[in-house]
Structure 1
Amino acid sequence: MAWTKLFILLLVTYQGDCVLRAINSYISGFERQSVSVKCAYDQGYAGYVKYWCRGEDWDNCETVQQSDSQSQGNKIVINDFRGVFTVTINSLEKSDAGTYWCAIQRWGYDYNAHLQLEVKEGVSTLSVRNSAISGFEGQAASMQCSYNMGYSTFVKYFCRGDRSWNCEIMRKTSQSQKNGDKFFLTDDKTRGVFTMTINRLEKSDVGSYWCGIEKLGHNNQYAVVRLDVKKGVSSLSVSNGHVSGFEGRATSMQCSYNLRYSNFVKYWCRGDKPSNCITLHKKNETQKTTDKFFIRDDENRGVFTMTINSLERSDTGSYWCGIEKLDNNKSSAVVKLSVVEGVSTLSVSANNISGFEGQAASVQCFYHLEYSTFAKYWCRGDKSRNCDILTNTSKPQTRGDKIVINDNQDRGVFTVTFNRLERSDSGSYWCGIEKLGHNVNAVVTLTVLQAFLTSEGNETNAAGTIRKNLLSIIVGSCGTIFIIAMIVLVLAILHRRRTGLQNKSVDTNDCYATISNVQGINENEYMVLNRKIENEYMVLNRNKLPSEAQNRTGGSNGKEENIYSET
């Protein structure tokens, strides 16, 4: 009886492992935050009560929450949907660490699956450097949030509203963007800081902005920044408050000014504040185009530009454009520069790809993770600077499109698939990354091969034709082997009959003398049979040879050439 109970217990436990399982057997979270656990179960148990149990052993674990007895605001919440029930633990504490069980309540023995929860020491997840910032109309303003390095891979965002739980998201780090956007978001994962720059400020931009981190379960980490926009000043403004460039290359930043300051001295300096920044170059100083810092002033348009050549990673920082006025006061506007790794980080899986008409061809473009949020595109043309963009990652697309582009930002690769190839699709293409100044490109040459038509009118390709030719050769070879085997068989039968003859004198060196003594077959009949076999052999091989070989089998004089030496 004891063995029977043990067997039943083992059987139910085994079935439970198949019916219910924890998607992750180990999970962790931080104090005062939330963590979620997913438990998958067989669809046959959709209507059953699910519950969350705590204890080192299943036999003495304590039920903490059930799916049929919970209310809003509970520390532990169970959501059951389509074969997965999710347990969310809010406001984690160190004492919450331990062994837990997700379980299905049923008659007899409850199905269960265990897992381990670790609660790490609480961190100040988010903080802002300045809770109140201001900017001028037409210029740019930036707000920064610092986060714990444990969240470096999480999605960050900025939203706008009076309350964090109903604010409108302006930009996420997971979204594609380009430098000229109204809202531009960057995430420095090495420093644990993400920054949103608002370009071309307007009075309507005044308000509260919240930086946030998307977490499992719900978003509950926020920090607020209050933005004030002052009436535009006539002296200076920047069209783009955030620019980027590549190591070893050059980048430019521009300032616009009122034309009444056209004759004033302009300058660029570097530093955290305009009051203590170090002047890099002034308009009235001698310079040449190869200098590290080069300034141009377009007095007709009211724009002066600074170009930084031979960029280095150490050039990353804040730059201020300024005007020296008669009263010795200086007006200034800030531009933030980011220098990323060199252009060589963009490469393709193959510079030459090919495909057959009506089929598809794909190519992968690899890039440095610094470009993960940049817009990617696919264009056609002999030169990258004037190629026609066919598709990009910011454009909605479906699988049925002629050209489909997919960007895997975690791996740093985007894939371009060309569907329903045509001969006219052959040419030069470029996979590219949109950036300020000039785009990054890598060339791919596509060759579309012609498909062939069979005698029945069905379309096939060159590979199919090769397979058919190979099959013909094999069939021809098999036919040849069959003929040879038949000849050997006939000779064997004749030889066998010959050895059975009695009182006959046979010269073994004379084949025809031997055959003439075989019962039922004389010499003339053998010659006729042998000729017939040879003729059938030649006809069969002629039919299996390529057409050009057949053309050589006869001419106006009716003579056959020796075509078998080629087989």
Structure 2
Amino acid sequence: MGLLAIIFLLVFFHTELAISASSPIFGPKQVTGLLGGSVTVKCFYPRTSVNRHSRKYWCKESTRQCSTIISSNGFVALDYQGRASITDFPENGIFIIEIAGLKRRDMGPYKCGIGFNDRGLSFRVKLDVSEGSIVPEEAQLFYVEQQGSVTMTCAFGNQYTNANMYLCKMTKTSCSTIIDTQGNIDPSFKGRVLLSKLPIPGSFSITMTQLKKQDSGLYLCGAGTYGAEGESKKLDVHVFEEALVPKIQPVLNGVRGGSVSVECHYNPKENVTVKYWCKWKQYECIQIISNSGHVQDSYEGRIVMHDNPENGTYTILLNQLNDEDAGYYWCMTNGEQERKSSTELNIVEGKPNLAVDNGVQVVAGSPLTVSCSYPCKYANYEKYWCKWKNTGCDPIVSIERDPSGFTVNCNKGNRVLTLNFDQISLADQGWYWCGIRHASHYGETHAIYLQVQGVLQNSGDVRNPSEESNDGTDVPQIKPENRGVPLNEPKEAAGVGGSADSHGDSKSSTVLLSVLIPVGVIFLLLVTMFVVVKYRFFKHSDLVSVGSYRTNISMTDFENARQYGAKDNICMEGAHETQIGGTNDCVIMTGSPKEEGKSRKKKRGSKEEVEMAYTTFLLNSENLEFARNSQEQNSGSC
């Protein structure tokens, strides 16, 4: 009989421990209060609709039963009236029991639970009452659902600013290091634990994600060396099984040049405003993309985030994979209860399923068709093209026209999805994605960069501007026969070459017009003034023929021809004509003796003198030959 009793007790206690271990209710294993003082007990439970409205209780165990001390239905045991209370916080999944005026008989085992009896959802707590003045430090509790995450903060003061900081998990004999600032990390936690120093000296935070049931237990975070020097703090982590745990793919394999798709989960009912994806490092998680539109420069054109609030997911698509992309990535939100899932990305040998030309150069104004071929396994999937932006890539499916002017057509016989442009414009330059989608889940993608350069002239030749493009890079020349032809080599994401020309030409034209209009007005005024002056001059002039020239000469100009050195009837006696411009120096009287005493007329202006000299030359040039003959006959007449 004694042996049977022992076996029964062992089975009973084993069953109790199994129930306690598998129960989703969680609380402190032990609490201590001072005699006459008070204690506070926190009990956690899953936030299901049933649990939120169920009865919560606190009972004291005995050999026969667990007698209720207080419950959320309003019951309070006689001995605890006025010194015990229970408060439920269903939105946070926690209820709190407070007991004041502690007595020695309050010591013993208790249970906090949900339901009408202690056989269901409950957790065992031991209460101690101390007669001393110091209460031992209790472990900080962390209640985390499976595949979820937790962040724990530890602070130890300025004296530990340069000390080693660590997190370890308690075992029966020691504390096994999970991560520390000396570069050590447990292989089973690689990629899913993060240690970050905080701005306050001597403080740091630990974030663990993708938690498993076996991760439950007692941890120590500390500064210094465990068991030798420094300080530490107890952290009690409980991972409970959630009925509906989202499927998370912990490992992804991608091929060089290919793509991967990562689905992140969050609770759409909570006020989640920040969502981002980051790459894990041992002491930081570098943000790559967020729902605010931030994209790290090295990922521009090859990563996008699709948010789906209806089912509480956001999908990350990453393509153009290379060896440097291998590593661990975290899905992050600002929700306190949100999962921060971790995914490992491996780069393996293979070829992408989607085939698109690496890069395309095209001249503005010309048509373009870009093809994307896919394998037979994607024949019944939805195919799409989209233009990439840092805020997303909205798909344009087959036979659908985008407002920007391009269409997408799918030839299932050839398994080709084409992107068609009737006329390329400078605004069409950028990254374009060909992708696969099935039942609202995004699959493989492939990206190309479309570079638009130059403009077409009326003659059909290509005008390639020499100015720099918008991003400061020189625009390479494109031959007319290569317009719209895909290139074998991938091109860098250069700026729009023709945009600067267009803007520069427009600006130059405006400046030219602003200068020419005033100059033209001034020119017209000058012409008008010249015409008026000439008109007045011509009223007193006769038309004279001089050789092969015709000119207008005023007859009054002949009156003073002698004043310009071309004397009338020079070196003549009587009425005989003689030479013009001979070599003899002759003194000629220009008037009668009666006129010698009179004063000469005032000379004309310099302008009139010049005109008169030229006119006289023209008048006498016709008789030049005759004058030479006369000179020979009368060489000594003076």
Taking structure 1 as the reference length, what is the TM-score of the superposition?
0.28
Taking structure 2 as the reference length, what is the TM-score of the superposition?
0.25
Larger Rg: 2
